[in-house]
Amino acid sequence: MHLIQENKCHGGYWRRYQHDSETCGCPMTFSVFVPAAAEQGKCATLFWLSGLTCTDQNFVQKADVESAAAEYGFIVVAPDTSPRNVGLDGEDLSYDFGSGAGFYVDATEAPWRANYRMYSYVTEELYSLVADNLPMDPERTGVFGHSMGGHGALTIALKQPEKFRSVSALAPICAPMSCPWGKKALAGYLGTNQEDWKAYDSVALIESGSKVSGILVDQGDKDEFLAEQLNPELLKAACAEKGIPLTLNYRAGYDHSYFFIKTFIRDHVKHHHKMLNDVNR
């Protein structure tokens, strides 16, 4: 981990690191908010997954998460959304596939499979890097995200609930197998066999028996992508059928932007604080 930037904020620090990733086969950059509470011992930790076109810096500079993270004593980890500049044909041709659009899957199709392994990067390499170098409490670790990152957060929690013990999302892509963004990404990274896609579709995972102890989702009702891409009602139906507690809030007048995220980010930090400190779970 090579520290490339540090800024004091709300008594803690935003730190930006770069490291050589074995998983992605290239240098990867991520940001971490470390609260003042970390001076006293291990902290609950949240992994934030950003959406299409984002780097780690969009969330750092726009979300205003650090005030709540400082109050509740959370470390917050914000990785990049894909490998960068790995020299693949087509990696920079579109906003919804390739650079900035890793979709938090482990690609199996050439040429993407050598580098585009964001699922393993987040859940294994980055997780271990943070656990080994920062005062992260592995018993109190959650995941949340926005849009493509909301999809990533939901699937990661459903697949690894023992590691990521709380989950929430803002305007997530709830059923990528059922929307244009998801179909393009899953076909490109995983191939045309849709049975393989189910491993990275929240609704399919729930239908197959994956469970978490509770989900919080906030969705703006003026979101320009709501009707075509996000499908929260499919997630609601799947959770209802399988008995997974879901709080789905439709927020009047809000769109898909970081103005929406920064308005409700504190609610999500509070949700994770409650879930990760519930001794009855």
Residues noted as catalytic = 147, 223, 256
Cα gap 175→166, rounded to integer Å? 20
Cα gap 196→200, rounded to integer Å? 8
- From residue 84, how far is each of 5, 101, 139 by CA, in Å? 19, 10, 32
Cα gap 108→114, rounded to integer Å? 8
Contacts for 83 with CB less than 8 Å, ≥ 6 apart: 21, 24, 25, 26, 28, 99, 102, 115, 116, 118
Q: Find the helix or strand (DSSP H, E) in which 183 lies.
A: helix 180-190
Task: Report helix, strand or coil for 7.
Answer: strand
Q: Note the Cα 183 to chain centre separation in Å.
A: 19
Q: In what order do the strands lie in the sheet with 43-49?
A: 2-9, 12-21, 26-34, 74-79, 43-49, 136-146, 166-170, 215-220, 246-251
Cα gap 202→157, rounded to integer Å? 9
